[in-house]
Amino acid sequence: MRDASVGHQCPECVSEGRRSVRPARTAFGGGAAGRQGYVTKTLIALNVLVMVLSIASARGGDAAFGGSGFGGLMGGSTPLTDWGAVLGQAILPDGSVGGVAQGQWYRLVTAMFLHYGLVHLLLNMWALWVLGRSLEAVLGRVRFLALYLIAGLGGNVAVYLFSPVNQPSVGASTAIFGLFAALFVIMRRLGRDTSAIVPILVINLIFTFTVPGISIAGHLGGLVTGAVMALVLAYAPRTRRTAFQAAGGAILLVALLGLILVRTAMLTG
């Protein structure tokens, strides 16, 4: 028997009562479990693991520090970044022609988990830690993960569309910029002050346009895609909210797919 406010209850009665209680939901339909930040922590762990594998694949050199990007603080490329970076179409180190246009679509996803060195990784993971926990708490785990992945994909699709075809690009910053935009949208939807977000976003945009080696297309693509996905999540009608959010995310993915097909046709036609 279990102690209750009045007398005692059997374990079966307690279990049945718990099943009849509606679980707590966030303002946007997510589960309260998002407050624990499990998705954010998992994404950070995954990025760190991939960084370790990337350095290990390099067998020395400047894979961790001392590369050419960000004033010389970024690490260099590795066999793993060469394999997974967003690349339109180019001759690979083994002499073959590769890239997204050659059917290597996986690059549009793998690139958001790869980084050029530890400084690159630490900058992005710090931003993910700060932004991710707040957004995951208010959106819930599934919606936050969808936002992160779609924003990252949108940024990489923008790289494919607008960057030189032989210029590789990696980094979680495509998704991070999507989180910046999403936080602004979510805060506005909740009627909260956004004055602290705008200066940080402006500073990051200044870095994007002034620091050599940073993908402008990737950052802006992630920013726009994250904003659109956040609008879908934040302004879905309360009735059939989950269905509306899922449909909006699916339409956005289809639109990105269409852009990929158009760009591929341009490069291979």
CATH of the domain at 79: 1.20.1540.10
CB atoms within 10 A of CB 187: 18
Structural domain includes residue 145: yes
Domain count along the chain: 1
Q: Is residue 69 in some structural domain?
A: yes
Whether pLDDT at 167 is above 50: yes
pLDDT of amino acid 30: 66
> Is 13 within a domain?
no
pLDDT over 60 (residue 99): yes
Query: Does residue 232 sit within a domain?
Result: yes
pLDDT score of 39 = 96
CA contacts within 13 A on the Cβ side of 24: 7
Task: Check whether 197 has a pLDDT greater than 50.
Answer: yes
Environment class of 210 (CB within 10 Å of its CB; exposed 0-12, middle 13-18, buried 19+): exposed
Query: How far, CA to CA in Å, does 142 sit from each of 27, 68, 72, 135?
Result: 14, 37, 38, 11
Coil, strand or helix at 137: helix
Q: How do the residues of the chain divide into helix, strand and coil, expressed in percent and rounded to 5?
A: 65, 5, 30
Q: Give the range of the structural domain holding residue 133, as residue numbers without chain letter.
A: 26-268
**Percent of the chain predicted with pLDDT > 70:** 82
pLDDT category of residue 13 using cuts at 50, 70 and 90: low
- Judge whether 152 and 222 are in contact, CB under 8 Å: yes
251: left (phi over 0), alpha (psi -120 to 50) or beta: alpha
Residue 208 to residue 256: CA distance in whole angstroms: 23
pLDDT > 90? residue 16? no
Is 82 inside a domain boundary? yes
Determine which of 121-125, 198-202, 223-227, 264-268 has the lowest per-residue pLDDT on average: 198-202
List beta partners, residue 3.
Answer: 8
Least confident of 4-18, 200-214, 242-256: 4-18
What are 143-158's pLDDT values in tens digits? 999 999 999 999 999 9
Q: What is the pLDDT of residue 238?
A: 87
The whole-model pTM stands at 0.85
Q: Residue 32 above 70 pLDDT?
A: no
Looking at the domain assignment, is residue 142 inside a domain? yes
For this structure, is 20 an active site residue? no
Does 8 map to a domain? no
The answer to whether residue 219 is catalytic is: yes
pLDDT at 68 over 90: no
Q: Which of 54, 163, 173, 215 is catalytic?
A: 173
For residues 51 and 166, what is the distance between their CA atoms, to the nearest angstrom? 23
User: What mean pLDDT, rounded, does the chain reach?
Assistant: 86
Instruction: Indicate whether 73 pLDDT > 80.
Output: no
Task: For residue 21, tell me if it sits in a domain.
Answer: no
